[in-house]
Structure 1
Amino acid sequence: MQRLPIRSLAGLAAIGLLALTGCGTEAGGPAAGRAAATGAGKDIRAQKVLRLTTVHEETGMTLLEGPVFDEDGGLIVVDVTAPAGEPKVLRVDVGKKTSRQVHTDDRGAYTSAQFSPYDGRLYLTDFSHGDIVSLAPDGSDPRTFYSGEVDGARMNPDDIAFDEEGHLYVSDSRGLTEGEAKGRVVRIDRDGRNATVLADELAAPNGISFDADYRGLWFSELTQNRVSYLLLDGEGGVASRHTAIRVDGGIAQTDSIAVDADGNLYQALHGRPAMAVYDRHGERLATVEVPARAAEGLESATNVAITPGGTKAYMTVSGPAGGYLYTFDALAEGIRQSNGG
């Protein structure tokens, strides 16, 4: 397998793990994109919690994603590029600063994690194989929830958002490796039987999250650096769609999205260990970033989980230096929309 610099899901290539390429984007150093990304709002410095992973010899990289709190307060994290036999899903005790393996297998490249409000199981997206799998909360009883084509094409599922009834909304990054706008937002019924395309011809959709009121979906397109809003009609369809935010990230690109209780968007940045925070009207409120002295060897901040009912946030950050958890104080309390995705 070709050994490439780590990329926050910009494309996967072969043998059960796909090499993350970044669609031609080269990640910069600690200050990459700083001028472009701090043009508005305040700066928030994240603090290191612990290093969770090192670069895997077999894959030449490590990439943490999908932080989500379980019912007992443990933080579940996935390592997208972990090889067979090494932890692909980890549980972190953020107080004790320890972690343990929850799940591994010889197949999946898992890019997100979230608990279903319907059955309480942990759902994972397997970007490489186009599947969505679920686990019992303790990591046992793996099941394939959805596999196969949607409207004649197999998915590259990236992130997940659940509605209040437990139906899934998936960002499908189909077309990413070809550099073509073939991506989609897909709705899958909670029983896994019916899948519907809600939006198509998208440029590598990545992050996806409901707004605070569950009226619509925010989703980002990695290769266009834009966030769009999909207003839903309440019956499983779409009422309208528009471009909501154009992210001025320099060489950094839009990755996963989380939303807090005030409706603020936390837009992760691929290509820089930072997040941009916007209000629901598109005003840039803040930039969360790893301090420059610690940023050497860290290339992307992929996602964040905010403590449910609290403001302590935990951000997954990765690069040649390893996979880390960083923490900061969010602008508002955490809700389901800021816990996994």
Structure 2
Amino acid sequence: MQRFSARSFAALATIGTLVLTGCGTESGDPEAEAVSVSAGRTIRAQKFMQLTQVHSETGMTLLEGPTFGKDGGLFVVDVTAPEGKPKVMRVDVGKRTSRAVHTDGRGAYTSAQFSPYDGRLYLSDFAHGEVVSLAPGGGDKRTFFSGEVDGAQMNPDDIAFDQEGNLYVSDSRGLSEGEAHGRVVRISRDGAKATVLAKELAAPNGVSFDADHRGLWFSELTENRISYLRLDAKGKVTSRHTAILVDGGIAQTDSIAVDADGNLYQGLHGRAAMAVYDRYGERLATVELPARTEGLESATNVAITPGGTRAYMTVSGPAGGYLYSFDALAKGIRQSNGG
């Protein structure tokens, strides 16, 4: 999830009480090119379609959590959408249209993932420390997890599932104070047990399993680094190390997705671009928007078509919320849906 400035927190406060003191449907431009890849290490993404405009109620729009459903629809959340505007949308990428799936007067949803266990769509509510779920097509909202973990409420940012349906959450607790109180938390698939896997983290954001489900990648926004947790078959940590230091300049590490070759797609807050690394930390490419694109400030996340290489990146800023598309370096898998 793109991180919240002071203005962003104020905007979110208008749609729900924050623990921290982070429209409509439009069809895309039919003339926009779908994909263009330049030579060398730059991948040039092209505008696919606009999904949202800046909301007058909150002063911003912020797209996140692109994830493909079994029906082929691409589900996207708008973190700062006010009550009555779509907080979850389904995009038909073939027709370049979108429709509202869910809205409410409470949630500030920062990520979305479908569970391999029950097939429901799970959403993290950053503002209220909850994880909720919806029926695959929307509706039937249920609270999956709420409350404290080891004596402290979460600010759940991104989410990822293991193969059994247990949920892994990046908890950005401590962000507003600038304190390293963040955590990575594992929640059992029935929502009954929450376990801290890593703590004293600097605003953890992106989280994704590697291609083999042997370990978990997570990024820390205020340290611009990606770490790796090796896990055993029961989800317990066997080792942890800093894996990649991201040279982002004024930009910061946002969400993470992983393709079938194990490459990492690291979103950037403060720059409408993504950095792509292999599993050994070599920077393979940078995904950029076309030259002279204005009003777009962050590329939060990406989803790669399951079994294909077409990628859809969520990009936001004063110009609105957009999907940009490009050719990924390898095929999409479950971990390619940016949680």
Using the size of structure 1 for normalisation, the TM-score is: 0.90
The 2-side partners of 1:289 and 1:76 are apart by 23
The 1-side partners of 2:256 and 2:42 are apart by 18
* Equivalence map 1:64-83=2 (5 Å): 64-83=63-82
In the alignment, which residue of structure 2 is the partner of 1:48? 47
- Give me the CA root mean square deviation: 1.5
Quick one: which amino acid aligns to residue 148 of structure 1? G
The 2-side partners of 1:157 and 1:15 are apart by 19
The 2-side partners of 1:99 and 1:146 are apart by 29
In the alignment, which residue of structure 1 is the partner of 2:302? 304
Structure 2: runs of 5 or more not aligned = 23-39
* Equivalence map 1:72-151=2 (5 Å): 72-151=71-150
Check the 8 A contact 1:17/1:81 in 2, yes or no: no
Q: Secondary structure at the match of 1:52?
A: strand
The 2-side partners of 1:158 and 1:17 are apart by 16
Q: Secondary structure at the match of 1:223?
A: helix
Out of 1, 8, 31, the position equivalent to 2:2 is 8
1:292 Cα deviation from its structure 2 partner: 2.0
Q: Secondary structure at the match of 2:112?
A: strand
Structure 1: runs of 5 or more not aligned = 1-6, 24-40
Quick one: which amino acid aligns to residue 93 of structure 1? D
Q: Secondary structure at the match of 1:174?
A: coil
In the alignment, which residue of structure 2 is the partner of 1:30? none
The 2-side partners of 1:15 and 1:63 are apart by 15
In the alignment, which residue of structure 2 is the partner of 1:168? 167
Check the 8 A contact 1:10/1:176 in 2, yes or no: no
1:138 Cα deviation from its structure 2 partner: 1.1
**Residues 43-87 of structure 1: CA deviation (Å, up to 9, x unaligned):** 000010111000000000000000001111110000000000100
Check the 8 A contact 1:69/1:340 in 2, yes or no: no
Moved over 6 A (4+): none
**Residues 169-228 of structure 1: CA deviation (Å, up to 9, x unaligned):** 000000001100000000000000000000000000000000000000000000000000
The 2-side partners of 1:17 and 1:303 are apart by 24
The 2-side partners of 1:283 and 1:255 are apart by 18
The 1-side partners of 2:94 and 2:300 are apart by 22
The percent of aligned pairs where both chains have the same amino acid is 79
In the alignment, which residue of structure 1 is the partner of 2:223? 224
**Residues 263-285 of structure 1: CA deviation (Å, up to 9, x unaligned):** 00000000000000000000000
In the alignment, which residue of structure 2 is the partner of 1:57? 56
The 2-side partners of 1:301 and 1:224 are apart by 18
Q: Which protein, 1 or 2, shows the higher relative CO under an 8 Å CA cutoff with sep ≥ 6?
A: 1
1:17 Cα deviation from its structure 2 partner: 4.8
The 1-side partners of 2:184 and 2:127 are apart by 17
